[in-house]
Amino acid sequence: MNPNKQNLKIALLGTRGIPASYSGFETCVEQLGQRLAQRGHDVTVYCRSHHITHPDDTYLGMRLVKLPTIRNKYLDTLFHSLLSSIHALKERYHVGLYFIAGNSPVTWIPRLIGTKTALNVDGLDWKRDKWNSLAKKYIQFAEWFAQFAPNLYFTDSPLVQAYYKDKTGKAPPYIVYGSDIDKLPPGETLKQYNLEPNRYILFVGRLVPENNAHHLVEAFTKTDTDMKCIIVGDAPYAQEYQQELRDLAGKDDRIIFTGYVFGEGYRELGSNAYAYVATTGVGGTHPALIEAMAMGNCCIVNDTPVNLQTIDGCGLSYNGAGESGGAEALTTVLDHVLSNPDEVQAYRDRATKHAAKVYSWERVTDQYEKMCYELTGRPVPARLADVESKVHTPPAT
């Protein structure tokens, strides 16, 4: 550990681990953890041994602890977090940063030896269709228990913050995700899928029902364009839904399913799309959406309150619900976007500027770092004096 007494020993727990290769939480851990390490903190990331194949015990300045888990849809996350929390006892971290509301029942364990714990609860995971009724009840219990088990719980969106305030009477803090991401020119990934820059519509996300990729697939089959539609994503427990998507696409060879694409391939696809479509219907702030904005995309979102708050007028929306919603509403917006390239460019410019101003990983790391100092009761370094407090003002309701 760095001998500087101001520096902290920090653990990041509750995700699949890094290098990031699945979802937004893993990306957050990778981006946040490496920046904390660069600032002199001793950072450890707990990883699921079956998921992380990186051969070394360090990555981008972070120590990796790889532990087994039960490879089951319902037990995978919580069991691994339990083992990680027990392992953390002997490590005596100053701060344990947990992710995912379902982990709240184990966040008290490191507190037994004085570690301060904080939990990013994300957004209303119980609404996801992938969970059965028992799992939904457990997640709702875990959301409630998050008030008591860690020293602090927080979320990534002022709208989810307002939900918790309504349920508990108190507003938890919120810290947004970051979006800094370098744009890439056309390269091997576009060649692999026979794509031309600015000649395809892009979707990125887990292919599960609540993410509503079927809105885009169905809508795109109704468009009159020679552009392509690229569906990037997968999900280990949703094979039936993915087959439904392929059946919906039918013989439309303009629609291409790539499976997971990470790293430079993901950035290349995001940097060269004509437009990005976020059909997600539940959850908090979606990292892929703010990364799409940072890469200069014209973004079209399902008009949930969280999605609308994320784009903040710097993109377009469609009605994702109701009799006239979903694919029908999205078709209208797609037709408009495909016919108005000048408007698309204007939205690209606005999205890029908004992402740079609001969703900076350096800014996000400042907020996490200040939160860690405040949790431990240590003096906050002068360089963080002007950073917003961890307790943000909730939106008006």
| 8-state DSSP, 209 | G
Whether residues 165 and 201 share a domain: the answer is: no
Whether residues 232 and 343 share a domain: the answer is: yes
Whether residues 126 and 237 share a domain: the answer is: no
Tell me the C-alpha distance between 96 and 85, whole Å. 9
Q: Indicate which CATH number applies to the domain containing 206.
A: 3.40.50.2000
Whether residues 294 and 205 share a domain: the answer is: yes
Whether residues 302 and 286 share a domain: the answer is: yes
Whether residues 114 and 125 share a domain: the answer is: yes
Whether residues 122 and 197 share a domain: the answer is: no
Task: Give domain status of residue 3, yes or no.
Answer: no
Which pLDDT belongs to residue 83?
A: 98
Which pLDDT belongs to residue 345?
A: 97
Task: Give domain status of residue 87, yes or no.
Answer: yes
Describe the strand order of the beta sheet including 58-59 as a list of residue ranges.
58-59, 62-67, 42-48, 9-13, 95-99, 116-120, 152-154
**The token pair that represents 64 in the structure block:** 């990796």
Whether residues 53 and 19 share a domain: the answer is: yes
Task: Give domain status of residue 165, yes or no.
Answer: yes
Whether residues 159 and 36 share a domain: the answer is: yes
Task: Give domain status of residue 389, yes or no.
Answer: no
Which pLDDT belongs to residue 152?
A: 96
Supply the range of the domain harboring residue 78. 9-178+360-384
Task: Give domain status of residue 4, yes or no.
Answer: no
**The token pair that represents 52 in the structure block:** 């992380």
Whether residues 80 and 222 share a domain: the answer is: no
Which stretches of 69-120 are assigned E, i.e. beta strand? 95-99, 116-120
Whether residues 354 and 364 share a domain: the answer is: no
Do the Cβ atoms of 375 and 95 come closer than 8 Å?
Answer: yes
**Of all residues in the chain, what percent are helix, strand and coil, respectively (each to 5)?**
45, 15, 40
Do the Cβ atoms of 209 and 130 come closer than 8 Å?
Answer: yes
Please tell me the pTM assigned to this model.
0.78
Crossing angle of helices 158-168 and 133-145, rounded to 10°: 80
Q: What is the CA radius of gyration of the chain?
A: 21
Whether residues 303 and 258 share a domain: the answer is: yes
Tell me the C-alpha distance between 63 and 217, whole Å. 41
Do the Cβ atoms of 172 and 156 come closer than 8 Å?
Answer: no
Question: What are the φ and ψ backbone dihedral angles of 391, each rounded to 5 degrees?
Answer: -95, 105
Provide the domain count of the chain: 2
- For residue 46, give the H/E element and its range: strand 42-48
Do the Cβ atoms of 277 and 336 come closer than 8 Å?
Answer: no
Tell me the C-alpha distance between 293 and 228, whole Å. 20
How do the pLDDT tens digits run along the chain, 397 residues long?
Answer: 444 568 999 999 999 999 987 567 888 999 999 999 999 999 999 999 988 989 999 999 999 999 999 988 788 999 999 999 999 999 999 999 999 999 999 999 999 999 999 999 876 666 676 778 898 899 889 999 999 999 999 988 887 888 888 888 888 999 988 887 879 999 999 999 999 999 999 999 989 888 999 999 999 999 999 999 999 999 877 889 999 999 999 999 999 999 999 889 999 999 999 999 999 988 777 888 999 999 999 999 999 988 998 999 999 999 998 766 799 999 999 999 999 999 999 999 999 999 988 888 999 999 999 999 999 999 999 999 898 755 444 433 3
Tell me the C-alpha distance between 62 and 56, whole Å. 11
Task: Give domain status of residue 183, yes or no.
Answer: no
Task: Give domain status of residue 2, yes or no.
Answer: no
In sequence order, the β-bridge partners of residue 300 are: 277, 316
Tell me the C-alpha distance between 369 and 375, whole Å. 10
Task: Give domain status of residue 372, yes or no.
Answer: yes
At position 155, the amino acid (one-letter code) is T
